[in-house]
């Protein structure tokens, strides 16, 4: 053998090795930089768990108490870190339990790779034990999915999965791997996926569209920006800030856009949407140019479409061409990556300030403050309000905490009153509205950003939807702070029943267990407060704790969240009471 051939053989030998499909799964994850994943073992995924055991010095598996918890934890991890979250489950019920988290990740554009075990390929279609068609079930809620039935196909499938999950507009993917593929052997070599010919993740921004957008903005007398999560996903916070400041444009955010620009920024005019702020909702119907950036005109944002910003020219920046004209007809669409297109926009903008226009927002804010905010965050009535709890958390964390909220009244209060200073600080289930999201998502968020304070804010209803994840917190000792705002109601539904169903409180009142005792059962420090004078100290103690901590705050039972744009109403008909 000459030296050249010998070298070549050695090179191939070092690159490829004969291993099992399940080892290939774990090595592929490691090659993708995954050091943590969330999951739950079971029959059809056991060979992979066996390999995870062997590689536990390189990759940490977090055992959640339910597969839904695994999916949400992976989402929380992805949302705070910007990396791909990974969830793993067995076939059948293990796989179907992931589906809510997958659907949530799909509508909120969260990069997720879900790996499910599947029965042996010769059993597919035979109604085998724990067989379910998870590829069929997950198709409408995944960005991409596939089934692997041969060991040799595993590295390529996973490489493609990671590439698709994180590129372009991110989303969840699912790879279903039959048991024979896991136990079969292959010559392993990992090559990251660099492209898929049928898929253009980031369409190229057309400079002419950017110029057209700039022309409209420069000519505008009353421009208004509404930004969404696209700014955070595109890492375009600095670019957005520069655009806002140069052009002096009052700027509002959608629920998932929260925290991209600090709450206290003088041009930050608050949240739009059903429970958003008064001024940006009202003035959406008075601006002359509406600039939407990385948002998708959800019905909760627009209210009645026929009367949404009809007077305005609409500019829409988005990475996803399918969002253009989907709900709101645009005059100028700028397709592409938000960081890139905003950077192109900036030099074309004239430096301006719109003082009189900004003053209109300030005047309406003053009305909202008098009628709503003051009573929410500085209440004088006896019962505790959710708003004052948020105020207290802001004070103790100095706005540095990541707030993970669940779904309902407390979520709206958290988004309205949290004082965000750092991007990626608002982790919540926006599009799907998944109760039960926050507790597991907070676990993932804390693990994704161990240096950050992570405070989960949850209602008494949603808390009980995934309360089993206290077990995960106990076992991993992840120091998350859990605040349950307990009004002994499914509060948001009760609010609607009060306003639109003549106070017929059908199945919304909850008889709750002793939450403090439950937390203590998991050896988590816990406290309950029901009086205003106890609140500040309790929040201080919780934030000061280096361990996980549970705080139950018994709030007023029948408080409502305002402002409110009732379903089917125009944004300018936003109600203050």
Partner 1 sequence: MNEEIKSYTISLYTENNIGLLNRVSAIFQRRHINIESLTTSQSEIDDVFRFVIVVNITEAQAAKIVRQFEKQVEVIRAYYHTDEQTIYTESCMFKIKSALLFEEPQIQNIIKDSNSRIVTVNKEFFVLEKSGRRHEIESLRRDLNVFGIMQFVRAGRIAVTKDEMRVTDMLMAFNNHNN
- Cis upstream peptide for 9 (omega within 30°): no
Tokens read off for 251: 């700027």
Candidates 17, 196, 499, 576; binder of partner 1 (CB under 8 A) is: 196
Based on the residue annotation, tell me whether 179 is a catalytic residue of this protein. Answer: yes
Rounded CA-CA distance 577/570 in Å is 16
By the 8 A CB rule, do 562 and 575 touch? yes
Closer of 135 and 242 to partner 1 (Cβ):
135
How many residues make contact with partner 1 (CB under 8 A)?
22
Q: In sequence order, which residues have a C-beta less than 8 Å from that of residue 319 and are 6 or more positions away?
A: 168, 169, 202, 203, 230, 234, 294, 335, 336, 337, 338
Candidates 90, 106, 147, 429; binder of partner 1 (CB under 8 A) is: 147
Which part of the chain contacts partner 1 (CB under 8 A), choosing from 81-89, 141-149, 179-187, 340-348?
141-149
For 121-171, strand residue ranges (E) read 144-148
Based on the residue annotation, tell me whether 492 is a catalytic residue of this protein. Answer: yes
Candidates 7, 139, 545, 567; binder of partner 1 (CB under 8 A) is: 139
DSSP 8-state code for residue 382: S
In the complex, the smallest distance separating the C-beta of residue 330 from partner 1, rounded to whole angstroms, is: 13
Exposure string of 544-557, with b = 16+ CB inside 10 Å and e = fewer, is eeeebbbbbbbbee
> Which residue among the candidates 53, 129, 500, 501 is catalytic per the annotation?
129
Based on the residue annotation, tell me whether 557 is a catalytic residue of this protein. Answer: no
| Contact status: 18 vs partner 1 (CB under 8 A) | no
Which part of the chain contacts partner 1 (CB under 8 A), choosing from 90-98, 138-146, 366-374, 490-498?
138-146
> Which residue among the candidates 46, 55, 120, 130 is catalytic per the annotation?
130
List, as one string, the DSSP characters of 429-471: --SS--TT-HHHHHHHHHHH-TTS-EEEEEEHHHHTTSGGGHH
| 455: exposed, middle or buried (Cβ count in 10 Å: 0-12, 13-18, 19+) | buried
In the complex, the smallest distance separating the C-beta of residue 184 from partner 1, rounded to whole angstroms, is: 19
Enumerate residues 324-363 that contact partner 1 by CB under 8 A: 324-326
Q: Could you give the string, one character per residue 286-325, with x where binding to partner 1 holds by CB under 8 A and - elsewhere?
A: ----------------------------------xxx-xx
Closer of 110 and 428 to partner 1 (Cβ):
110
Candidates 199, 350, 374, 547; binder of partner 1 (CB under 8 A) is: 199
> Which residue among the candidates 224, 295, 447, 492 is catalytic per the annotation?
492
In the complex, the smallest distance separating the C-beta of residue 140 from partner 1, rounded to whole angstroms, is: 4
> Which residue among the candidates 143, 160, 166, 179 is catalytic per the annotation?
179
Q: Token match 């100290």: residue?
A: 537
Closer of 120 and 144 to partner 1 (Cβ):
144
Tokens read off for 339: 């960081």
Exposure string of 68-94, with b = 16+ CB inside 10 Å and e = fewer, is bbbbbbbbbbbbbbbbbbbbbbbbbeb
Closer of 229 and 426 to partner 1 (Cβ):
229
In the complex, the smallest distance separating the C-beta of residue 321 from partner 1, rounded to whole angstroms, is: 6
Cross-sheet strand order for the sheet of 525-529: 426-428, 402-405, 454-459, 481-486, 549-554, 525-529
In the complex, the smallest distance separating the C-beta of residue 31 from partner 1, rounded to whole angstroms, is: 20
Rounded CA-CA distance 255/264 in Å is 16
In the complex, the smallest distance separating the C-beta of residue 500 from partner 1, rounded to whole angstroms, is: 26
Which part of the chain contacts partner 1 (CB under 8 A), choosing from 46-54, 95-103, 190-198, 481-489?
190-198
By the 8 A CB rule, do 52 and 59 touch? yes
Q: Residue 193 — φ and ψ, nearest 5°?
A: -75, 135
- Angle 493-496-500 (CA atoms, 0-180°, nearest 5)? 145
Catalytic residues: 67, 129-130, 179, 492
List of residues contacting partner 1 (CB under 8 A) = 135-136, 139-140, 143-147, 164, 194-199, 320-322, 324-326
């Amino acid at each position: 053998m000459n030296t050249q051939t010998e070298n070549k053989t050695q090179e191939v030998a070092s690159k490829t090795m004969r291993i099992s499909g399940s080892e290939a799964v774990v090595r592929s994850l490691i090659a993708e930089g995954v050091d943590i994943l969330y999951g739950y073992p079971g029959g059809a995924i056991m060979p992979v768990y066996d390999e995870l055991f062997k590689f536990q010095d390189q990759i940490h598996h977090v055992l959640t108490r339910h597969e839904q918890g695994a999916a949400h934890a992976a989402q929380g991890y992805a949302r705070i870190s910007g990396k791909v979250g990974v969830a793993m489950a067995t076939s059948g019920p293990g796989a179907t339990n992931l589906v809510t988290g997958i659907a949530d990740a799909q509508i909120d554009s969260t990069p997720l790779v879900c790996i499910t075990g599947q029965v042996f390929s010769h059993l597919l279609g035979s109604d085998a034990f724990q067989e379910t068609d998870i590829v069929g079930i997950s198709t409408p809620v995944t960005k991409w999915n596939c089934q692997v039935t041969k060991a040799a196909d595993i590295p390529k499938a996973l490489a493609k999965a990671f590439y698709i999950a994180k590129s372009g507009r991110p989303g969840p993917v699912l790879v279903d791997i039959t048991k024979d593929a896991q136990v079969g052997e292959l010559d392993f070599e990992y090559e990251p996926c660099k492209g898929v010919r049928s898929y253009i993740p980031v369409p190229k921004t057309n400079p002419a569209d950017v110029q057209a957008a700039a022309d409209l903005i420069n000519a505008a007398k009353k421009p208004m920006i509404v930004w969404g999560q696209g700014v955070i996903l595109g890492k375009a916070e600095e670019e957005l800030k520069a655009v806002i400041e140069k052009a002096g444009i009052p700027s509002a955010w959608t629920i998932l856009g929260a925290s991209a620009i600090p709450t206290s920024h003088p041009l930050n005019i608050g949240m739009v949407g059903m429970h958003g702020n008064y001024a940006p909702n009202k003035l959406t119907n008075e601006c002359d140019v509406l600039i939407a950036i990385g948002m998708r005109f959800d019905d909760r944002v627009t209210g009645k479409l026929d009367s949404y910003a009809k007077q305005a020219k609409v500019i829409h920046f988005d990475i996803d061409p399918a969002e253009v004209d989907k709900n709101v007809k645009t005059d100028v669409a700028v397709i592409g990556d938000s960081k890139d297109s905003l950077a192109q926009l900036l030099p074309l903008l004239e430096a301006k300030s719109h003082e009189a226009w900004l003053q209109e927002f300030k005047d309406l804010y003053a009305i909202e403050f008098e009628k709503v905010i003051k009573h929410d965050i500085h209440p004088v009535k006896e019962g505790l309000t959710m708003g004052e709890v948020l105020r207290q958390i802001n004070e103790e964390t100095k706005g540095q905490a990541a707030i993970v909220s669940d779904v309902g009244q407390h979520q709206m209060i958290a988004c309205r009153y949290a004082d965000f200073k750092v991007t990626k600080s608002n982790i919540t289930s926006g599009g799907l509205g998944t109760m039960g999201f926050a507790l597991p998502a907070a676990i993932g968020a804390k693990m994704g950003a161990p240096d950050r304070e992570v405070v989960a804010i949850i209602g008494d209803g949603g808390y009980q939807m995934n309360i089993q994840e206290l077990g995960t917190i106990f076992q991993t000792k992840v120091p998350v702070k859990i605040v349950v705002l307990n009004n002994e109601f499914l509060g948001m539904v009760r609010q609607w029943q009060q306003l639109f169903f003549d106070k017929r409180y059908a199945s919304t009142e909850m008889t709750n267990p002793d939450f403090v005792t439950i937390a203590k059962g998991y050896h988590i420090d816990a406290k309950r407060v029901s009086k205003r004078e106890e609140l500040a100290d309790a929040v201080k103690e919780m934030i000061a704790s280096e361990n996980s901590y549970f705080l139950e705050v018994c709030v007023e039972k029948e408080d409502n969240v305002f402002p409110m744009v009732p379903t089917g109403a125009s944004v300018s008909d936003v109600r203050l009471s």
